[in-house]
Amino acid sequence: MSAKNIKQRDITDCGAACLASIAAHYKLKMPIARIRQYAGTDKKGTNVLGMVEAAQKLGFEAKGVKGTTDSLAKIPLPAIAHVIIKQQLHHYVVINKVTKNEITVMDPADGKTYRKTYEDFTSEWTGVLVLLLPTETFT
């Protein structure tokens, strides 16, 4: 089951768009603008701590972790991965599916889903993940 495809509004919105996508997956519609406020998004974007805090305000149990390629098959999905695009742009994507051959991600830059080989994914991935599970108080 995949998170909803959501396109970011501007270059700093990728983290908020990823959270909105996962919230929508669990049937919670939340405006990106509100998630930006929860996450403390500024002109540089959103840091991992802001992502975790915003996810908690939305009713998720959330934590930022450093993972390995081997750990990807074991994480709860959907999850958020921190990537660096073209070796300079810090960005977040939603991991929707992990198989033995590929990783399916939703990229909020264009709101589209992509299937990537492990090699392609790990060439951009920093190893940082934001893991989310809805709590009993999920609204």
CATH number at residue 67: 3.90.70.10
- The count of structural domains within the chain is 1
The sheet that has 60-66: what strands, in order across it? 60-66, 125-134, 79-85, 89-98, 102-107, 112-117
Is residue 2 situated within a structural domain? no
pLDDT in tens, 46-56: 999 999 999 99
Any catalytic annotation for residue 14? yes
Residue-range definition of the domain harbouring residue 85: 14-134
pLDDT in tens, 28-71: 999 999 999 999 999 999 999 999 999 999 999 999 999 999 99
Assign 139 a pLDDT band (cuts: 50, 70, 90). Answer: low
Is residue 7 situated within a structural domain? no
Total number of residues shown for the chain: 139
Is residue 78 situated within a structural domain? yes
Q: pTM, whole model, 2 decimals?
A: 0.94
Is residue 84 situated within a structural domain? yes
Q: Which one from 3, 6, 14, 30 is the annotated catalytic residue? A: 14
Is residue 139 situated within a structural domain? no
Is residue 98 situated within a structural domain? yes
Is residue 57 situated within a structural domain? yes
Is residue 1 situated within a structural domain? no
